[in-house]
Structure 1
Amino acid sequence: MRCLAAAVLIFGYIATTLAAESDVLDLGDDNFASTLKQQETTLVMFYAPWCGHCKRLKPEYAKAAELVKDDDPPIKLAKVDCTEAGKETCSKYSVSGYPTLKIFRQDEVSQDYSGPREAIGIAKYMRAQVGPASKNVRSVEELAKFLDTKETSIFGSFEDIDSKLAKIFLKFADKNREKYRFGHSSDEEVLKKNGETDKIVLIRAPHLSNKFEASTIKFEGSTESDLTTFIKENYHGLVGHRTQETSRDFQNPLITAYYSVDYQKNPKGTNYWRNRVLKVAKEFAGQISFAISSKDDFQHELNEYGYDFVGDKPIVLARDAKNLKYSLKDEFSVENLQDFVEKLLADELEPYVKSEPVPESNDTPVKVAVAKNFDDLVINNGKDTLIEFYAPWCGHCKKLTPIYEELAEKLQDEDVVIVKMDATANDVPPEFNVRGFPTLFWLPKDSKNNPVSYNGGREVDDFIKYIAKEATTELKSFDRDGRPKKTEL
Structure 2
Amino acid sequence: MTVFVTVVGKVPLAAANVANRNLQAQLAATNAANRNLQAQLDAMNKKLDDLTQEVKDLQSRLKISGPASKQLDSLKELEEYLQVQETTLIGFFGGDSSLKLTFQAYADKYREKKRFGHTSAADLLKKYGVTDGIILFRAPQYANKFEENQVEFDGSGIEELTTFVKGNFHGLVGHRTRDNAAEFNRPVVVAYVKNPEKTNHWRSQMLEVVPPYAGMFSFAISSKDEFQHEHNEYGYDYTGDKPVVLARDERNQKFIMKDEFSIENLKAFLDDLKGGKLEPYLKSEPVPEDNNGPVKVAVAKNFEDLITNNGKDTLIEFYSPWCRDCKKFFPVYDELAEKLADEDVFIAKFDATANDVPPEFEVRDFPTLFWLPKDSKSKPVKYEGIHEVNELLKYIAKHATIELKGFNRDGEPKIVD
Q: TM-score, normalised by structure 2?
A: 0.81
- Of the three residues 222, 232, 245, the one matched with 1:293 is 222
Evaluate the alpha carbon distance shift between residue 207 and residue 472 of structure 1 in structure 2; reply closer, same or farther with a 3 A threshold. Answer: same
- Of the three residues 221, 234, 246, the one matched with 1:317 is 246
Instruction: State the Cα distance separating 1:384 from its structure 2 match.
Output: 1.9
Evaluate the alpha carbon distance shift between residue 165 and residue 447 of structure 1 in structure 2; reply closer, same or farther with a 3 A threshold. Answer: closer
Corresponding residue of 2:207? 278
Taking the aligned partners of 1:463 and 1:165, their CA distance within structure 2 comes to 56
Corresponding residue of 2:113? 179
Instruction: State the Cα distance separating 1:138 from its structure 2 match.
Output: 1.5
One-letter identity of the residue aligned with 2:386: G
Q: Note if 1:439 corresponds to 2:368.
A: yes
Taking the aligned partners of 1:165 and 1:404, their CA distance within structure 2 comes to 59
Corresponding residue of 2:17? none
One-letter identity of the residue aligned with 1:152: T
- Cα contact 1:323–1:430 (8 A) shared by 2: yes
- Of the three residues 154, 169, 184, the one matched with 1:220 is 154
Corresponding residue of 2:272? 343
SS where residue 286 of structure 2 aligns?
Answer: coil
SS where residue 115 of structure 1 aligns?
Answer: helix
One-letter identity of the residue aligned with 1:464: L
- Of the three residues 38, 47, 56, the one matched with 1:115 is 56
Instruction: State the Cα distance separating 1:447 from its structure 2 match.
Output: 2.6
One-letter identity of the residue aligned with 2:345: V
Instruction: State the Cα distance separating 1:230 from its structure 2 match.
Output: 1.7
Taking the aligned partners of 2:193 and 2:207, their CA distance within structure 1 comes to 15
Instruction: State the Cα distance separating 1:468 from its structure 2 match.
Output: 2.6
Taking the aligned partners of 1:195 and 1:461, their CA distance within structure 2 comes to 73
Q: How does 1:67-466 map to 2 (within 5 A)?
A: 114-115=55-56, 125=60, 129-158=64-93, 160-260=94-194, 262=196, 266=197, 269-466=198-395
- Cα contact 1:261–1:292 (8 A) shared by 2: no
Taking the aligned partners of 1:205 and 1:326, their CA distance within structure 2 comes to 30
Q: What is the root-mean-square deviation in Å for CA atoms of aligned residues?
A: 2.6
Taking the aligned partners of 1:198 and 1:485, their CA distance within structure 2 comes to 76
Instruction: State the Cα distance separating 1:453 from its structure 2 match.
Output: 1.6
Instruction: State the Cα distance separating 1:261 from its structure 2 match.
Output: 6.1
- Cα contact 2:193–2:222 (8 A) shared by 1: yes
Cα shift readout 1:370-405 (whole Å, capped 9, x = no counterpart): 011111111111222111000111111000011111
Instruction: State the Cα distance separating 1:195 from its structure 2 match.
Output: 4.7
Taking the aligned partners of 2:216 and 2:313, their CA distance within structure 1 comes to 40
Name which structure has the greater RCO, CA cutoff 8 Å, separation 6+: 2
Farther off after superposition, 170-179 or 354-363: 170-179
Taking the aligned partners of 2:379 and 2:62, their CA distance within structure 1 comes to 46
- Cα contact 2:314–2:346 (8 A) shared by 1: yes
- Corresponding pairs, count: 369
One-letter identity of the residue aligned with 1:115: K
Stretches of structure 1 lacking an aligned partner (at least 5 in a row): 1-52, 57-97, 100-112
Cα shift readout 1:343-396 (whole Å, capped 9, x = no counterpart): 111111112221111111211111100011111111111222111000111111
Evaluate the alpha carbon distance shift between residue 406 and residue 235 of structure 1 in structure 2; reply closer, same or farther with a 3 A threshold. Answer: same
- Cα contact 2:238–2:244 (8 A) shared by 1: no
SS where residue 350 of structure 2 aligns?
Answer: strand
SS where residue 387 of structure 1 aligns?
Answer: strand
Evaluate the alpha carbon distance shift between residue 208 and residue 415 of structure 1 in structure 2; reply closer, same or farther with a 3 A threshold. Answer: same
One-letter identity of the residue aligned with 1:182: F
Cα shift readout 1:216-274 (whole Å, capped 9, x = no counterpart): 22223333333222211110000011111111211111111112363xxx2xx111111
SS where residue 362 of structure 2 aligns?
Answer: coil
Evaluate the alpha carbon distance shift between residue 461 and residue 163 of structure 1 in structure 2; reply closer, same or farther with a 3 A threshold. Answer: closer
Evaluate the alpha carbon distance shift between residue 364 and residue 147 of structure 1 in structure 2; reply closer, same or farther with a 3 A threshold. Answer: same
Taking the aligned partners of 1:374 and 1:200, their CA distance within structure 2 comes to 50
- Cα contact 1:204–1:235 (8 A) shared by 2: yes
Q: TM-score, normalised by structure 1?
A: 0.70
Identity %: 58
- Cα contact 1:443–1:452 (8 A) shared by 2: yes
Corresponding residue of 2:31? none
Structure that is richer in helix per residue? 2
Cα shift readout 1:192-219 (whole Å, capped 9, x = no counterpart): 4445444321111121112221112222
Taking the aligned partners of 1:127 and 1:181, their CA distance within structure 2 comes to 17
Taking the aligned partners of 2:315 and 2:132, their CA distance within structure 1 comes to 62
Instruction: State the Cα distance separating 1:135 from its structure 2 match.
Output: 0.7
- Cα contact 1:390–1:437 (8 A) shared by 2: yes
Evaluate the alpha carbon distance shift between residue 467 and residue 157 of structure 1 in structure 2; reply closer, same or farther with a 3 A threshold. Answer: closer
